Amino acid sequence: MSSTRLSRRSVLALAGAGLTSGCVRQLESTVSRDERTPFSLSIKTVPADTDATATRLARYLATRLQTVGVAATVVPMSREELLRDVLSNHDFDIYVSRLLLRRDPDFLRPLLHSRYGPGRGWQNPFGYGDLSLDSLLERQRTETGSVRAATLAEIQRRVVEAQPFTPVAAPRPAQATRPVRVDWPDGVGIHSLTGYLGARAVTTTATASRTESAVTSSSTPAPTSTSATTSTSATTSTPATTTDEPAPENELRMTIGDSRPTENLNPLSTPFRSDGTLLDLVYDSLGRPVYDRMRPWMAASWEWADGDETTLSVRLRDDLAWHDGEPITAADVAFTFRFISDTALGSLDQPVPSPRYRGRASLVESVDAASDREVTIRFGDVSEPAAARALTIPVLPAHVWEPFARPTSVSWLDGGTVTEALVRNNLEPVGSGPLRVTGTTARESVSMEPFEDHFLADDALDGRLSRFDGGFSFDSLRFDVVPSDGAAVELLATDAVDATANSLSADSRAAAADEPGISVRTSRPEWCYHVGYNHRRPPFMNPRFRRAVARLVDREFLVDSVFDGETEPASSPLVATTYVPAGDAWDEAVSELEFVGDSGTGTLDAERARSVFEDAGYAYSGDGDLLIQE
Amino acid sequence: MISAQSSIGFSPLVAVLARVLGGAAVALALATLAIVGPSRLAAAYGSGRDRLHEAAPYLGLLAVVLLVNKVARGVGPEVSWALGWNATGVIYAIEGNFVQHVQSLATPALTAVLSTVYLSGYVFLLTFPFVAYFVAADERPLKLTAVTYAANYAIGLTCYVLFISYGPRNLLPGQVESLLYSTYPQTQILTGEVNVNTNVFPSLHTSLSVSAAAIAIRTRETYPVWAVVASVLAAAVAFSTMYLGIHWGTDVVAGVVLGVGSVAFGDWLVGRQSADA
């Protein structure tokens, strides 16, 4: 793609950013040459209502930093404001947040590659730059098997060593549900595309067995669904589509903790999106990971060209339609890939890519409509598993999005040139997914209903997708915003909802476990809590400083006190994959960053911790404040 | 009054609202009988229209401020974030773990009492003056109450737009317990409808309660019992906001200043209007 133009833009952005701060710094240094000042910093995160785990991690870090003489303040912010500051404006010292984990480790490439430093979105928000890591990140996407595993091991060793950010732990999402009302599919999280498509209303005969539901939690590392034994054996599930009488009550009612989808349903928006599950229901993609394998979804089939492992021919299913009734053609697919690479469609001097999909779009060189139903995708030098990620990009209707390919003037919050496509709220999304949005109420709810022209609505699907025959089985799906986990459990207890889409914190899990008729299901980790450093600001560009901060983190203690004890501590961002290395070299790299104190108690050895900072080249004032060169 | 196990099957919001307002209504009815008394009510009967006419401009002012308040709370948070003055860290730096110390007094019984005070007691404290002063011979306290409330809201709202500040329960999970919402999670659905969690400085619960109590003390000759009840209740409301982990001590101090200042402003405005008349 247009790499030369992009990098020129990157350089300009870097220069622009450096100019102002550089001038100020110069001025400062002439005023007070060689003066070292006590270091103060802010830790941005979300408030406890939003994510108590993140707030507690931030508080933990702040108190430990204070112990080593750094004046650290926790700054709670709303989700979207935090993401704006971290991902768009790069205005932060340290932040604590969730990092979405993807199945394929290629997600590390946009996260850490220096080329993405000046951009927006979950692409190197840290501003980290290491050329040799860059080439390793590029290499792993061309490799497969043990060769790729070796490269990924090397990448992780370097990441642990340099600590561009510090991973803490990856909890297992825990959602509560009422098994007497809904039967959820095994092996997947409730709040997922496969979870919703596989959900079945429990027939009323089973409602008598209220007391049978038990609350259990899983401790096995394999992806499991707890309580499945109880709910599946006690109930006979019937797809609602087979009932004769109209059942207006047949609605699947969920709580969400995140109110952002009620105000914005734009798949291209960065500050308003997290896991994107809601929009997975509304927007289809060419392929979908179904039970861990990438399967043709909107595509009927695909095949790699003979002797050319970079060209994929995709054939679309017949009779695909948008939610507004327009037919879907190969031209829409080609448009989508062009559009996410440049939402201005060439109308501006610089391309304005969608930050949310830059990593995935960068795998693709070109996408052409070979016919009405056939698409040819040319990948760069990319191995098959990495290339498959590009197939999960949501396909957008050209007739809806083309008019928004123009610059907007309301981008004052996001900085830089922005197109309307990136900031529009899209509250009446036209997708082609199995569910269609029927209404939203700001900060209250989102309602959906099954899309009757979806390919899943026809029966007789081939092999792997046959389990979704008939599509979403309820008459409607409703997400109600709740102010906290506790309120969600309360609504569940009064039978006002059927399940929580929001994952419960350890405390609310315990509260849910005490309620009769509620069962908690856990699934495998989808995000990792991490501490992000802004390498654009001193002293965070210094790896020794970051390593000293990383040694303040007692994962063992945090797993017991902040998480639920079953959570896996994470030293590597690939914790949820099979690529975490084993062996002495890895163990040594990890042990070099051991907590400076009594492991498991969270109690810092203040003397030693300070000496770690002194060894890193920092000095202390007479009052015990850590000094940095401004 | 609020039970954790709600048996009502319909909307939990309606259920909580019914309990909170029901509690306040019962208190209002009892206080009207005991403090105002049937004889005063009878005496006021017939002159209601004139009293209303007299106080109308002041009540109208309050209505306008409340309306603006309702609209502004919708757009307020966006303006706050654009300004970006996050006061949470400053407040915590000032007072540290004061609220945590307050919470060391917590018992289940005290939590139940103070939750009731925070929700129903507060509504009662603010509404009873309108009943009491409407039937009183002197219409000045009624005007003063309306103007004072309006001033509280106007200044409070300005602070809410200017500053972002999260309460202790949102900054210090694990240290400060969100007692109201962890004991009665359903109440958060109600307060979430009314309040935005970035608006804690100053405590409007405190300031309006202090204003109501200050005016009650002025009218102690007419309603001696109310002066005592209002003072005790106002103190309890102010304390409950900290005890329940919702407000910082700083918010409460600022609330007291705002409450007293608003009465002074009301005095000035009502006095001037009366002088003009």
pLDDT the model gives residue B48: 76
Q: How far apart are CA A355 and CA A359, in angstroms?
A: 8
B192/A483 Cβ within 8 A: yes
Token representation of residue B142? 């009624």
With 90 as the cut, is the pLDDT of residue A116 above it?
no
The matching CATH number, chosen from 3.40.50, 3.10.105, 3.40.1580, 1.10.150, for A37-171+526-629 is 3.10.105
Q: How far apart are CA B221 and CA B133, in angstroms?
A: 13
The question of ipTM being above 0.90 is answered as no
**Which of residues B34 and A27 earns the better pLDDT score?**
B34
Where exactly are the structural domains of chain B? Answer: 12-276
B170/A49 Cβ within 8 A: yes
pLDDT the model gives residue B193: 64
pTM for the full predicted model: 0.84
Name the percent of chain A lying above pLDDT 70.
Answer: 85
Facing B173 at nearest CB: one of A55, A77, A483: A55
Instruction: Kindly state the average pLDDT of the residues A200-216.
Output: 52
Contacting residues of A for B77, CB less than 8 Å apart: 78
pLDDT the model gives residue A204: 62
pLDDT the model gives residue B276: 57
Residue carrying structure tokens 């207006």: A248
Chain B residues in contact with chain A using a Cβ-Cβ cutoff of 8 Å = 6, 8-9, 11-12, 77, 81-82, 86, 88-89, 92-93, 164, 166, 169-175, 178, 181-182, 185-186, 188-189, 191-192, 197-198
DSSP-based three-state secondary structure for B156:
helix
Instruction: Kindly state the average pLDDT of the residues A42-50.
Output: 93
Instruction: Tell me which of A83, A260, A494, A509 to substitute to probe the interface with B (most B C-beta atoms closer than 10 Å).
Output: A494
DSSP state of B165: B
Q: How far apart are CA A120 and CA A85, in angstroms?
A: 10
Q: How far apart are CA B140 and CA B134, in angstroms?
A: 10
Nearest CA in chain B to A488: B185
Let me know if the fold of A37-171+526-629 is the same as that of A260-423: no
Window from A249-263, A298-312, B3-17 with minimum mean pLDDT: B3-17
Task: Please tell us whether the domain made up of A260-423 is placed in CATH 3.90.76.10.
Answer: yes
- Say which residues have a Cβ less than 8 Å from residue A583's Cβ, sequence separation at least 6: none
User: Mind telling me how many Å the CA of B66 is from chain A's nearest CA?
Assistant: 21
**Contact yes or no for A343/A422 (Cβ under 8 A):** yes
B81/A486 Cβ within 8 A: no
A562/B186 Cβ within 8 A: no
**Contact yes or no for B187/B2 (Cβ under 8 A):** yes
pLDDT the model gives residue A460: 62
pLDDT the model gives residue A459: 61
Backbone dihedral region for residue A85 (phi beyond 0: left; psi -120 to 50: alpha; all else: beta): alpha
**Which of residues A460 and B236 earns the better pLDDT score?**
B236
Instruction: Kindly state the average pLDDT of the residues A120-149.
Output: 92
Window from A222-226, A351-355, A477-481, B48-52 with minimum mean pLDDT: A222-226
B197/A49 Cβ within 8 A: yes
With 80 as the cut, is the pLDDT of residue A602 above it?
yes
A495/B9 Cβ within 8 A: yes
With 90 as the cut, is the pLDDT of residue A416 above it?
no
User: Mind telling me how many Å the CA of A55 is from chain B's nearest CA?
Assistant: 7
A496/B189 Cβ within 8 A: no
pLDDT band at A33 (very low <50, low <70, confident <90, very high): low
A73/B181 Cβ within 8 A: no
What confidence tens digit (pLDDT) does each residue in A166-206 have? 999 999 999 999 999 999 998 888 999 999 999 999 876 44
Q: How far apart are CA B87 and CA A607, in angstroms?
A: 32
What distance separates the 2 farthest-apart alpha carbons in chain A? 83
B89/A75 Cβ within 8 A: yes
pLDDT band at A410 (very low <50, low <70, confident <90, very high): low
**Which of residues A229 and A166 earns the better pLDDT score?**
A166
Facing A487 at nearest CB: one of B11, B77, B186: B186
Contacting residues of A for B9, CB less than 8 Å apart: 494-495
Say which CATH topology domain B12-276 has: Vanadium-containing Chloroperoxidase; domain 1 (1.20.144)
Q: How far apart are CA B158 and CA A223, in angstroms?
A: 51
pLDDT the model gives residue B55: 87
Q: How far apart are CA A75 and CA A72, in angstroms?
A: 10
Q: How far apart are CA A183 and CA A475, in angstroms?
A: 15
Q: How far apart are CA B146 and CA A341, in angstroms?
A: 58
User: Mind telling me how many Å the CA of B242 is from chain A's nearest CA?
Assistant: 17
Beta bridge partners of A374: A315
B12/A78 Cβ within 8 A: no
Instruction: Kindly state the average pLDDT of the residues A306-314.
Output: 86
Compute CA A231 distance to the chain's CA centroid, rounded to the nearest angstrom: 30
Instruction: Tell me which of B188, B194, B199 to substitute to probe the interface with A (most A C-beta atoms closer than 10 Å).
Output: B188
DSSP-based three-state secondary structure for A45:
strand
pLDDT band at A591 (very low <50, low <70, confident <90, very high): very high
Backbone dihedral region for residue A498 (phi beyond 0: left; psi -120 to 50: alpha; all else: beta): alpha
Token representation of residue A126? 């840290």
A495/B166 Cβ within 8 A: no
pLDDT band at A232 (very low <50, low <70, confident <90, very high): very low
Checking DSSP bridges between strand A293-296 and strand A519-522, what pairing results, if any?
A: unpaired
Nearest CA in chain B to A45: B171
A78/B11 Cβ within 8 A: no
Q: How far apart are CA A482 and CA A258, in angstroms?
A: 8
Surface-to-core class of residue A301, CB atoms within 10 Å of its CB (0-12 exposed, 13-18 middle, 19+ buried) = exposed
Nearest CA in chain A to B183: A486
What confidence tens digit (pLDDT) does each residue in A268-294 have? 988 888 778 999 999 999 999 887 788
Contacting residues of A for B86, CB less than 8 Å apart: 75-77
What confidence tens digit (pLDDT) does each residue in A13-23 have? 444 443 444 44
> Helices A48-67 & A606-615, crossing angle to 10 degrees?
80
Q: How far apart are CA A162 and CA A152, in angstroms?
A: 15
pLDDT band at A306 (very low <50, low <70, confident <90, very high): confident
pLDDT the model gives residue B231: 97
Q: How many CB pairs under 8 A join A and B?
A: 89
pLDDT the model gives residue A238: 38
pLDDT along chain B (277 residues), means of 10: 37 80 92 88 79 88 91 81 88 94 94 93 95 87 94 93 92 88 78 76 95 95 94 97 95 97 94 66
pLDDT the model gives residue A446: 95
Looking from the CA of A227 toward its CB, the CA atoms found within 13 Å total 28
Instruction: Kindly state the average pLDDT of the residues A46-57.
Output: 92
Token representation of residue B53? 């006419």
**Which of residues A484 and A34 earns the better pLDDT score?**
A484
| A106: number of Cβ within 10 Å | 26
Where exactly are the structural domains of chain A? Answer: 37-171+526-629, 174-256+441-456+465-522, 260-423
| B43: number of Cβ within 10 Å | 13
**Contact yes or no for A217/A173 (Cβ under 8 A):** no
